């Protein structure tokens, strides 16, 4: 069973090892798009953790392609993980058939989902999967996936 948020047919997938601690998200049995304002609601109800996750995700996407938005904040509020987006965030603990680029947020989570023999570690923070367009990254948090590391991740994505 795949559970998560965003566009179910998205070509950009982030796997994350936890779920927002609110009942609608804890009980998901499919991928459900967020509504406008829902990211702000999740952040307000759950604290800084999920605000950081969504902000880092929006910064990454804005850096990769800012053509439709004037800021990463606008991208976060008007598109991120909504029905019209090209992204999804999967809470399920195993890989699903890829529709494009897959990112696993967090080294520990990556190692729990993929055999280490299938990963080429580029450094202490980033690994590539040998058989699919998959990158293991630091967790989506300012301290772990800093702006400098987002730059590195963007270069990795562009090289695939």
Task: Return the pLDDT at 76.
Answer: 97
112 confidence band (pLDDT: 50, 70, 90): very high
pLDDT of residue 158: 94
- For residue range 51-101, list pLDDT tens digits in order: 999 999 999 999 999 888 999 999 999 999 999 999 999 998 888 888 899
pLDDT at site 67: 80
Q: How do residues 20-62 score in pLDDT, each as one tens digit?
A: 999 999 999 999 999 999 999 999 999 899 999 999 999 999 9
Is the predicted pLDDT of residue 130 greater than 80, yes or no?
A: no
pTM to 2 decimals? 0.95
CB atoms within 10 A of CB 78: 13
Residues of the chain with pLDDT > 70, as a percent, come to 100
Q: Which residues contact 159 (CB under 8 A, 6 or more apart)?
A: none
- Partnered with residue 105 across adjacent β-strands are 137
């Amino acid at each position: 069973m795949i559970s998560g948020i965003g566009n179910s047919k998205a070509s950009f997938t982030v796997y994350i090892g936890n779920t927002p601690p609110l009942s609608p998200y804890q009980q998901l049995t499919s991928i459900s798009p967020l509504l406008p304002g829902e990211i702000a609601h999740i952040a307000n109800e759950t604290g800084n953790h999920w605000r950081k996750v969504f902000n880092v995700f929006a910064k990454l996407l804005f850096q990769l392609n800012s053509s439709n938005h004037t800021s990463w904040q606008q991208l976060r509020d008007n598109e991120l993980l909504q029905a019209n987006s090209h992204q999804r965030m999967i809470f399920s603990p195993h890989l699903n058939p890829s529709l494009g680029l897959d990112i696993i947020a967090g080294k520990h989570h990556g190692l729990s989902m993929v055999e280490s023999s299938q990963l080429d570690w580029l450094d202490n923070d980033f690994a590539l999967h040998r058989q699919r367009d998959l990158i293991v990254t630091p967790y989506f948090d300012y301290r772990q996936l800093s702006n400098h590391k987002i730059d590195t991740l963007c270069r990795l994505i562009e090289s695939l």
